[in-house]
Amino acid sequence: MTRNNNKLDTDRFASVLKALSRHRMFIPIAFLAFLLLINVFINPSFLRVSLGRDSTGSPVLIGNLINILNNATELVILTIGMTLVTASSRGQDISIGATVSIVGGVIMRVLCGNETQPTQLHAPILVALLLGCLAGIACGAFNGILVSKFNIQPMVATLILFTAGRSIGSMAMGGLKPKAAASFGYYGNFIPGFPVPTPILITIGAIVVTLFALKRTNLSLYTRAVGINDKASSLNGLNPALIKFLTFVILGLCVGIAGFVQSSRVQTVNPYTIVPSIEMDVILAVALGGNSLGGGKFNMTGSIVGAYTIQTLTSMLTTLNVNTNAVPVFKAVIIIILVAIQTPMLKSLFVKKVTLSNLTAGAGKERG
């Protein structure tokens, strides 16, 4: 009876382990937890969150974990849009960094006009946000038309704005580098008297709206269908071109929100240095979340976890005083290993080895 119970427990453990390892969320969550453990090992107080004071004396939450959640805002929001674009068009938008500079340029021009350092805002912040989002949507629509109507590969279609976007952002500001009034900085930092960084609240809102929309509408189903086989989806009454166009527009809206937050952090925009190489981090976050870069099925929760994992990795490398120029190299090596681990071949090999070792251990206990 004891032998049978041991064998049953071993089989049950092996089946649970196999199910967990095959889940698309297993690798992103496991790696995120691994990074957090490394940071805790380096700095035992890494996860500590405390109440401090800012320069004005207002209470604010401080800590490494708060910094990661805060700094990941733009990455998370852009990853949401990129996930949908990847799933529907089977390609990626490499122009989002340049489009952020366009959005930032528009927002700065609206708030500052032709002044370099105005003492007050020239327009309500809500107007600047709406116009910034419209600029992002216009760029997304431009890319979406090239992809959906002219059947240009997404990476080639978005190469246009990738090349010209930052110059357009500079032109939007009239060649100036204005700095907005301090009140604009509340949206990229702290609202006076409120301890939680505003970007974290914006991120929570974006995630909640996205998950609600995917659950309550057919956007998720239609995106998957078009990504898997657009011809078959058209035979079932869908409009693949419209779905692809819509996902690019949604990404444009995400770019608008991210550009607003990024501009607010320092109340100014340098179109040539803003969010450098963020498109690569966004694509890596989508891949890390267990999504296929070839389109079709996607996991939005996995993408969001992947974005936080990328930001945690970046923060860890910075904490270890890795040279800024070398950070992309370390990040690339780690991400390559991580993505390789998620391939079906390595996953099945891992499961077989673990299962075999557990069975061997169980057999040893039975003989004992």
Q: DSSP letters of 214-251? A: HHHSSHHHHHHHHHH-HHHHHHTT--HHHHHHHHHHHH
Q: Name the phi and psi angles at 44, rounded to 5.
A: -55, -25
Per-residue pLDDT of the chain (368 residues; tens, 9 = 90+): 555 555 555 666 566 656 666 667 777 888 899 889 998 998 888 889 998 888 778 899 999 999 999 999 999 999 999 999 999 999 999 999 999 999 999 999 999 999 998 989 999 999 999 999 999 999 999 999 999 999 999 999 999 999 999 999 999 998 888 999 989 999 999 998 899 999 999 999 999 999 999 999 999 999 999 999 989 999 889 999 999 999 999 999 999 999 999 999 999 999 999 998 899 899 989 988 888 888 888 999 999 999 999 999 888 888 888 888 888 887 778 777 776 776 666 656 655 655 555 555 555 555 55
Measured from the Cβ of residue 209, the count of other Cβ atoms closer than 10 Å reads 11
Angle between helices 96-112 and 125-148 (to 10 degrees): 150
The full set of domain ranges for the chain reads: 63-343
Q: What's the pLDDT score for residue 317?
A: 86
Rounded CA separation 285/308 (Å): 8
- Considering the entire predicted model, what is its pTM? 0.90
Q: What's the pLDDT score for residue 348?
A: 64
Three-state DSSP at 268 gives strand
| CATH architecture for the domain at 63-343 | Orthogonal Bundle (1.10)
317-348 in b/e burial notation, b at 16+ Cβ within 10 A? beeeeeeeeebeebbeebbeebeeebeeeebe
Measured from the Cβ of residue 173, the count of other Cβ atoms closer than 10 Å reads 23
Q: Give residue-wise pLDDT tens across range 290-344.
A: 888 888 889 999 999 999 999 998 888 888 888 888 888 877 787 777 767 766 6
Q: Give residue-wise pLDDT tens across range 168-182.
A: 999 999 888 899 998
Q: DSSP letters of 52-83? A: EE-TTS-EEEESHHHHHHHHTHHHHHHHHHHH
Q: Looking at this protein, which amino acid is placed at residue 179?
A: K
